[in-house]
């Protein structure tokens, strides 16, 4: 699983599925400018986000990250790479 403060960036992506996963995740769908287009907190194994027009990235983070950070649609995200 992902630790707090970690994430998996999927590029390119307009949405994701959780088929074959063993744990839930928070998923943020972002446009080219890293603007949040859609939030999917606590997506469970077997579920999917569906596709969202204008999305370029999917960011998978530990469950509870969206709530803990107060992230909202329209926010622009910044991150550091490891």
Q: What does the block give as tokens for 58?
A: 């999917």
Q: Is residue 3 part of a domain?
A: no
Q: Is residue 17 part of a domain?
A: yes
Taking the C-alpha atoms of residue 1 and residue 7, their distance in angstroms, rounded to an integer, is 10
Is the pLDDT confidence value at 62 over 80? yes
Across the strands, what pairs with 38?
29
Is the pLDDT confidence value at 40 over 80? yes
Is the pLDDT confidence value at 82 over 80? no
What's the chain's average pLDDT?
Answer: 95
Taking the C-alpha atoms of residue 82 and residue 71, their distance in angstroms, rounded to an integer, is 22
> What pLDDT, on a 0 to 100 scale, did the predictor assign at position 46?
96
> What pLDDT, on a 0 to 100 scale, did the predictor assign at position 48?
95
The structural domain count of the chain equals: 1
The domain in which residue 57 lies consists of 8-69
Of 14, 28, 34, the residue nearest 68 (C-alpha): 28
pLDDT in tens, 43-54: 999 999 999 999
Q: Is residue 29 part of a domain?
A: yes
> What pLDDT, on a 0 to 100 scale, did the predictor assign at position 80?
85
């Amino acid at each position: 699983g992902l630790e707090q403060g970690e994430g998996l960036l999927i590029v390119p992506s307009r949405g994701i599925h959780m088929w074959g996963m063993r744990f839930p995740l928070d998923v943020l769908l972002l446009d080219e400018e890293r603007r949040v287009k859609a939030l999917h907190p606590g997506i469970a194994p077997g579920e999917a986000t569906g596709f969202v027009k204008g999305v370029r990235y999917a960011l998978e983070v530990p469950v509870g990250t969206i709530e803990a950070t107060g992230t909202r649609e329209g926010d622009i995200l910044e991150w550091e790479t490891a």
